[in-house]
Amino acid sequence: MKIYADRFPIALRQLLTDLLVVAWVYASIRFALWLHDLIEKLAVPGQKLEGAGGSLADNLAEAGGKVGRVPLVGDELTAPFNRAADAARSVAEAGHDQQELVGQLALGLSIAVLVIPLGLVLVGWLPPRLRWMRRAGAAKRLASAPAGRDLLALRALAGQPLGRLTRIDPDVAEAWRRGDDATVDALAELELRSLGLRAGR
């Protein structure tokens, strides 16, 4: 018995759902990356502060070294330059610390905004999709087995809505008991259709 996907409505609905999930994940990742880049821009003042403080400290240290070579008063003149250089290094370190803080904030917020959308996919979409894949795979194997259509018909009798069953035959259970081929085929077809599959000979 040949099995192929029923394009409407179940298979199409599943395809659209899968595409929406892919688009949702892609958009979530893009938003997280955009947010990361946006927050990283806050580190620019820290970069400038670190660069300016480091450059100023180097210049002051160099000037202090030159002043220190002045005879007699060199050591006394060097002290203010050294203190100013130390202060400039503190400014540079503050700029560096600010950059690290911004980087950690950008990473943390980017991960935080991904947790909910990816969690919804992992909890709300993935388990039902995997269950459907297992059920559809089992149905395909049953449909190709010698007595598979009988088992599919029995599953339809046990699980399908009564309205669908009575459209096959008003006394569908009795027809199934008699082993009516048309009823068994219709029940098997109904069960496969409920999984987005269709049976064909």
The DSSP code sequence of 105-152 is HHHHHHHHHHHHHHHHIIIIIHHHHHHHHHHHHHHHHHHHSTTHHHHH
* Alpha carbons 170 and 182: distance in angstroms, whole number: 14
Torsion of CA 62, 67, 69, 72, to 10 degrees: -160
Band (52; pLDDT cuts 50, 70, 90): confident
pLDDT digits (tens, 9 = 90+) for 168-190: 878 888 887 887 788 888 888 88
User: Residue 147 pLDDT more than 80?
Assistant: no
- Say how many residues make up the chain: 201
0.75 cut: is pTM over it?
Answer: no
Most confident of 27-36, 65-74, 174-183: 27-36
User: Residue 1 pLDDT more than 80?
Assistant: no
